[in-house]
Amino acid sequence: MMKAGRTLCRLAVLSGIGGLLVSLPLAADTPRDTESVNEQFDCRQLADWDAPESPIDWFERSLWANHCYIFQARAVRIGIDGVRTLALSHDIQDGVEREVARFLDGPQVFLERRGRIGRLGWADGQEVAPASPAGVARHLDQFYRLGLGSGERIANRSAVRLDIEPLDGLRFGQRVWLDASTALPLKRELLDDRGRVVETFQITELQSPQLYEGGVFLDDLRVPPQQSWYPEWLPEGFVGQPVDTRSDRHGTEVGHRIYSDGLSTLSLFVEPIEEGRERLIPGLHRLGISLAVVRHVSVDDKPMQVVVMGELPPRVLAQVADSLAWEAASDDGE
């Protein structure tokens, strides 16, 4: 079980889930082709935009704010695994974002990400993939009911409450408190499919956020990876995310794809089971507030391990895992 626990922790880090950071749509920083367009979003625009009025406008503004404000903060995360305090920071250098989260108690954990504003779809999609904040807001509005609650004070700042309720039982809801001045998230409550709070993430101190005086790069249009497997079923609205899931933490034999509806995310891992290497026990596993469903299957007489992780109802993760299909090999073996 200890080996299985370490493997699940490794997969959780790779998938970028677990509620450790306030949601920041970010594409991994990878070497750029010299012929890339180098699209940018000028963060100085935010200072001239009118104040949001509708719930969806507040949600989109919070996504832009996450990319464009430089800040340091202290936060607390309360979940079924206990209470943890964190130090957070978001910086921008030459148009590339850098996020850092460091736990201040318990086991030492340090998370760092560098990247650009992500896209909503792959380069070969039917429409040009827009920047995440605009595209995600429009997409998310189809699967959640957004409403505005009463104003409150969080971290000694005026806040606007955003209620996000799923339109079906296939995903979790949220309550998010946004800074009335910057639209940065100050507090998030994750609600399970029964409406119960399973995690609270709250900023306790936000140190004078500053709007970046320049442009932040948008991610390049990416071509989807060629893989022999694919899920035949996903909850409506979940689409493959155009992010580079390669990592030095695992070899090329581990396939990894991320799917999202704009708010909820699931990660799918597929790898061969080799003699002498650790494997996970099939079934349902819990890692903090995240859940993982593990399956062992045989493909062309080769044992494979399938892991689906996310902050979603267990039955949804299980159905995705059980729907995995493999493309038939061609006659020439290609």
* 16 within some domain: no
Tokens in use for 143?
Answer: 């699967």
Looking at the structure, tell me whether residues 200 and 241 fall in a common domain.
no
Q: Is 126 buried (19+), middle (13-18) or exposed (0-12) by CB count in 10 A?
A: exposed
Q: What length is written for the chain?
A: 334
Tokens in use for 70?
Answer: 């430089």
Of 149, 150, 174, 159, nearest in space to 206 by CA: 159
- Strand 290-299 with 197-211, pairing: unpaired
Tokens in use for 215?
Answer: 């442009």
| Helix-then-strand count for the chain, H and E | 4, 21
Tokens in use for 135?
Answer: 């595209």
CB–CB of 55/146 below 8 Å?
yes
> Nearest 5°: phi and psi at 59?
-65, -45
Q: Last residue of some domain: 174, 194, 217? A: 217
CB–CB of 80/289 below 8 Å?
yes
Question: What is the tally of structural domains in the chain?
Answer: 2
Q: How far is C-alpha 165 from the geometric centre of its chain's CA atoms? A: 18
Looking at the structure, tell me whether residues 72 and 210 fall in a common domain.
yes
Looking at the structure, tell me whether residues 205 and 240 fall in a common domain.
no
d(CA 272, CA 253): 7
Helix-helix angle 55-68:132-140, to 10 degrees:
150
CATH number at residue 322: 3.30.200.100
Tokens in use for 26?
Answer: 């970010």
* 146 within some domain: yes
Looking at the structure, tell me whether residues 180 and 236 fall in a common domain.
no
pLDDT at 287: 80
Instruction: Summarize the chain as % helix, strand, coil (round to 5).
Output: 15, 45, 40
Q: Residue 75 is inside which H or E element, if any? A: strand 69-79
The structure's pTM equals: 0.85
Q: Last residue of some domain: 217, 243, 265? A: 217
Residue 296's domain comprises 229-326
Q: Last residue of some domain: 175, 194, 217? A: 217
Tokens in use for 334?
Answer: 């290609």
* 242 within some domain: yes
Q: Residue 18 is inside which H or E element, if any? A: none
Task: Return per-residue pLDDT of the chain as tens, 334 residues.
Answer: 334 455 555 555 444 434 444 444 555 555 544 344 578 999 999 999 999 999 999 999 999 999 999 999 999 999 887 899 999 999 999 999 999 999 999 888 899 988 888 777 775 555 544 557 888 888 899 999 999 998 899 999 999 999 999 999 999 999 999 999 999 999 999 999 888 999 999 999 999 899 999 999 988 777 777 888 999 999 999 988 877 665 555 555 678 899 989 899 999 999 999 887 778 899 999 887 789 999 999 998 899 999 999 999 999 999 999 999 998 754 444 4
